[in-house]
Amino acid sequence: MADLLLEIGTEELPASVIENALEQLQVAVTQRLQDARIAFGEVETFGTPRRLILVVHEVAESQPDMVREVRGPAANVAFDAQGNPTPAAHGFARKQGVDVAQLEIVHTSQGDYVMARVFERGKSTVEVAVSILPEAIRCLTFPKMMRWGSGNLRFCRPIRWVLALYGDEVVPFELDGIQSGNRSRGHRFLAPEEFEVRTPADLFRQLGERYVLYDHRRRREAIREQANRLAEQVGGRILWDDALLDEVTHLVEYPTALLGRFDSAFLSLPEPILITAMKKHQRFFAVADGMGKLLPYFVAVRNGNDYCLDVVREGNERVLTARFNDAHFFYERDRQQPLEAFVGELKRIVFQEKLGTMADKTARLAIVAREIAQRMEIDPLLAERAATLCKADLATEVVMELPALQGVMGREYALLSGEDVAVAQAIAEHYMPRFAGDALPDSPLGRLLAVCDRVDTLAGYIGALQIVPTGSGDPFGLRRAAQGAVQILTAVEGTPRLWALVEAAARAYAQQGVDMTEEGLRLLAQMFSQRVEALLQDEGIRYDVVQAVLAEERVEPFAAWVNARMLNALPVERLTPVALAATRVRNILKGGEAARLVLTAILRPPSEWLAQVDTSLFQHDEERVLYQLAVEHQEKMGEVANRFCGEDLFTLLEIFTEPVNRFFDAVLVMAPEESVRRNRLLLLAGVDALYRYIGDFSKLVV
């Protein structure tokens, strides 16, 4: 056994693609080795800006030998009546490379057939790797692909060399004019010459000698250790940002951290401006004291050694000073007028060509936020004010220079302008969560504004324009917007109702001459259902429970979340009787006349069905009992459902189990008389609507 090594040498790769490319490479190679029946041990991947490395340890020298059983023609076709082989048998044997005398007859359920046992000697690992490795490279995908020269290979950046070894043997193949070999390169500036690699183990030793810290995990820790040490020298600590640390890790091959300083006068600027300028423009780490207050220092990471480090430090300090001077100028310009003055400038910023400007969006948000706030016991005037100002900072010079500060600067400018603290906090929070795993808004007003903003975007793009994400493409971030809305709506009780928000957004759009379509509403409902489904599955809710609570077309996220957790936790002996009774009701409403009658059952409350029931047509006591029970409990169950009390709602539904079963045992629902038949279906539709306050129990596996 020996190690299989692949190194793909490239021009500098974007930092954001390296780890994903390594994962793809590992899957592609290991899957192909498994398919080729080659045994192997541990698999490791390493990445730098200039190389993707994969090493498979303890790879078998060859495939195992194999005997294949190949079925041929039917026995009565392969042999004549005297048992002599026919031309069909000879042709089959010749094709399989065996003597006709070696053919066997096997008995199957389809009849007797001839069978050949074909011996295949296993290929060597090098022979197999010759095709596996280039295939694995070609199948890698990136957000942006490119071709270069006259070749056809599409990759993220031009490939400059390919090193492929099995033990000390080269795996020879050609990749779009690039011949694989046993040569690699060191650090671009400190050791640019090619060097020969004899074995996989030699590569890692030689890279270390040539200023390449090839293991991105070790490189990350080296940056962290060096930066912490430098910050401690000035009595501070690094304000670590994991995303920035990952990015810097993948921007360098040989990291050397350096401590820089800037004029303490810049500390008069809001800290978010300083931190964001360091992070976004320069990839610097900010330094703070023990209380978290910024110090006039930063840590940068150089791709190289400590040669002339003072010169590099001085250059970084000059560039950062220029950035801070710009930020100071923009900040002082913005402060010359209150935040409200920038609202008018939003007319110059397009939200979406057919949906108007950011000023139009702000006007819609103000209408919706004021309306929904009244239902949430939030001051509607504060809600309207926060909605009016929430996008104003987009027109400020600081945010135009540093877009990552949208919302953050809105809060700063709102406070400087004397706005209510709750309004300022909501302005900052309405962009949260910004990404997966981000914190949710803390304040009720912030949650309201955050959901209003996302629902407005989704209602416009999907509900009105029917623009939906396709496959992995989501250029407008609609999935992220829907996911954020669902996360907020399921976070705490008392958040606004989703479809009340959608209806309010639709009315606000209509006032601006934009109408939502029925197809758009269907697509919007589908988008929200998918996001709720993903949320519930991430929480470990059973698949059948998820499907049950999402049976309604227009799912209410908080209700679905509460009901799913409740159903998932119920003991089977308690859940089963209710589910079976509800399923009996649901099943009879699914087909034929019943289906036509209750086609819109999921959109109608129980009272609308029960109000149509004619008690004079009852012929059995079981009908009267079930009807009376439904009428007596419908109002209370509606109130319980509106309070999202899933356990209490289920307890009320348990009362219906015995009456429902007795009804079906005694009553012929599909009676010959049309009026009686329809009356019984109306009664069952009302009972079904009560069950569907929780979900469609027929989808549960019990």
- Identify residue 398 by its one-letter amino acid code: V
Quick one: average pLDDT of 68-84?
85
AA letter at 271: E
Indicate the pLDDT class of residue 600, thresholds 50, 70 and 90.
very low
Average pLDDT over residues 247-253: 97
Mean pLDDT of 566-574: 94
- CB contact at 8 A, 573 and 694: no
> Is 426 within 8 Å of 390 (Cβ atoms)?
yes
Q: Looking at residue 602, what is its pLDDT?
A: 47
Q: How large is the angle between the packed helices 518-538 and 557-569, nearest 10 degrees?
A: 40
pLDDT exceeds cutoff 90 at 119: no
Per-residue pLDDT at 309 = 95
- In the three-class reduction of DSSP (H, G, I as helix; E, B as strand; rest coil), residue 606 is classed as helix
Q: What per-residue confidence (pLDDT) applies to 595?
A: 63
- CA pair distance 259, 19, nearest whole angstrom: 28
Return the closest-CA partner of residue 93 out of 107, 82, 79, 81. 79
Question: Which own/partner contact pairs does 532-535 have at CB distance under 8 Å and 24+ positions apart?
Answer: 532/486, 532/490, 532/557, 532/560, 532/561, 534/483, 535/483, 535/486, 535/487, 535/490, 535/561
Angle value at C-alpha 120, between 119 and 123, nearest 5 degrees? 160
The confidence band for 380, taking pLDDT boundaries of 50, 70 and 90, is very high
pLDDT digits (tens, 9 = 90+) for 479-502: 999 999 999 999 887 778 899 999
What is the reported pLDDT for 693?
Answer: 92
Q: Which of 485, 362, 382 is nearest to 424 (CA)?
A: 382
Percentage of residues of the chain with pLDDT beyond 70: 98
Q: What is the H or E stretch that residue 278 is in?
A: none
Beta-strand pair 285-288/183-185? unpaired
Q: Assign domain 339-538 to its CATH architecture.
A: Orthogonal Bundle (1.10)
DSSP 105: E
Mean pLDDT computed over every residue of the chain: 92
Among 153-157, 385-389, 602-606, the least confident range: 602-606
The residue to which tokens 């000073």 are assigned: 321
Q: How confident is the model at residue 601 (pLDDT cuts 50, 70, 90)?
A: very low
Q: Which one is predicted more confidently, 96 or 4? A: 4
Average pLDDT over residues 174-201: 94
- pLDDT higher than threshold 70 for residue 594: no
Domain residue spans of the chain:
2-62+124-209, 66-120, 216-334, 339-538, 563-699
pTM for the complete prediction? 0.80
Measuring CA to CA, which residue among 588, 573, 584, 587 is closest to residue 702?
A: 573
Rounded distance between C-alpha atoms, residue 554 and residue 563, angstroms:
15
What mean pLDDT is predicted for residues 539-566?
Answer: 92
**How many angstroms separate the CA atoms of 228 and 649, rounded?**
55
Cis geometry, peptide bond prior to residue 403 (ω within 30 degrees of 0): no
Upper half-sphere CA count for residue 438 (Cβ side, 13 Å)? 17
Assess whether pLDDT exceeds 50 at residue 478.
Answer: yes
CA distance 163 to 212: 16
Q: For 668-679, what is the mean pLDDT? A: 90
**Nearest alpha-carbon partner for 636 in 693, 580, 579:** 693
| Cα dist from 100 to 72, 84, 491, whole Å | 12, 10, 73
Largest CA-CA distance found in the chain, in angstroms, rounded: 108
pLDDT in tens, 208-243: 999 999 999 999 999 999 999 999 999 999 999 999
Over 50: is that where the pLDDT of 443 sits?
yes
pLDDT at 475: 86
Q: What is the rounded average pLDDT of the residues 597-623?
A: 81
Residue with tokens 């006068």: 265
- State mean pLDDT over 176-181: 92
pLDDT at 593: 65
Query: For residue 477, how many other CB atoms are within 10 A of its CB?
Result: 14
Q: Is the pLDDT of residue 155 over 80?
A: yes
CATH architecture, domain defined by 563-699: Orthogonal Bundle (1.10)
CA distance 132 to 173: 10
Mean pLDDT of 548-574: 92
pLDDT value of position 597: 62
Both tokens of 31, joined, read 């899957």
Comparing 331-340, 384-393, 472-481, 503-512, the range with the smallest average pLDDT is 472-481
